[in-house]
Amino acid sequence: MGKLQMTPDLLRSLLQGTAEAVIAQAEHLTALDQAIGDGDHGINMKRGLQNVLADLDNITAKPPAEALKAVGMTMVMKVGGASGPLYGTLAMTLGKEWPTDDELDSSKLGQILAVSIEALKKRGKADLGAKTMLDVLAPVQQALEANKSIAEISVIAQQAAEATIPMKATRGRASFLGDRSIGHMDPGAYSSALIIQTICQLLEEKS
Ligand code: ADP
Ligand code: MG
């Protein structure tokens, strides 16, 4: 990934495109959560992101750092499930760590994502390998640090979600199933991969 200047317009199209893509997959996210959770992941994400879309004019009137914090707050406040506060923490920390000149490159983005992942781990008291969204976000962070291309990052996200299938969940509701959580993709890993892949696709279309 080369240099990227985040403008309010670009952030708006990334937020809108990502929210719409996740909402379009809400039923699939819910089906994944029916297998190893309580079947609400799609509903949770849809509720949070519909609120983001409804407030998109206000959100994107702010500078990108503040806009990301606002997205995070919306996810924390509007989503009942675990995923809302976790994605909310991620977005709020990205906003907090955001560069003042809105200029990003692979290593800078990798750096702020690393801090955000640490915040998420703390909030969820989880680490890698627990079969959660972290198992997608962490490899993506490493790919950014290694300056991989946007196309490669997209593939890495997808493969990382697939790699949660053989894992045994040790965090979140799926952990209640113990060994029976093995053999299913983690719903949060899938939503994270979908978010990353959509952002990658939108960035490639713009470049
Ligand atoms: P809930 O588990 O409250 O029903 P969701 O169904 O919306 O919430 O989200 C479930 C997803 O959240 C899981 O698939 C997993 O990826 C993620 N998750 C759950 N608990 C944690 C945690 N402690 N740390 C990181 N991610 C978690
Ligand atoms: Mg659930």
pLDDT tens sequence across 66-119: 999 999 999 999 998 999 999 999 999 999 999 999 999 999 999 999 999 999
What is the SS3 assignment for 3? coil
What's the confidence (pLDDT) of residue 206?
A: 83
pLDDT over 90 percentage in the chain? 97
Q: Report whether 92 contacts 72 (CB < 8 A).
A: yes
User: Which residue owns the Cα nearest ligand 1 atom 22?
Assistant: 124
DSSP classification of residue 4: E
Digit-coded pLDDT (tens) for 46-67: 999 999 999 999 999 999 999 9
**Residue 16 CA, ligand 1 centroid: distance in Å:** 23
**Fold annotation for 4-206:** 1.25.40
pLDDT over 70 percentage in the chain? 100
Residue 154 Cβ inside 6 Å of ligand 1? The answer reads no
Burial (CB count <10 Å: 0-12, 13-18, 19+), residue 116: buried
**Residue 86 CA, ligand 1 centroid: distance in Å:** 8
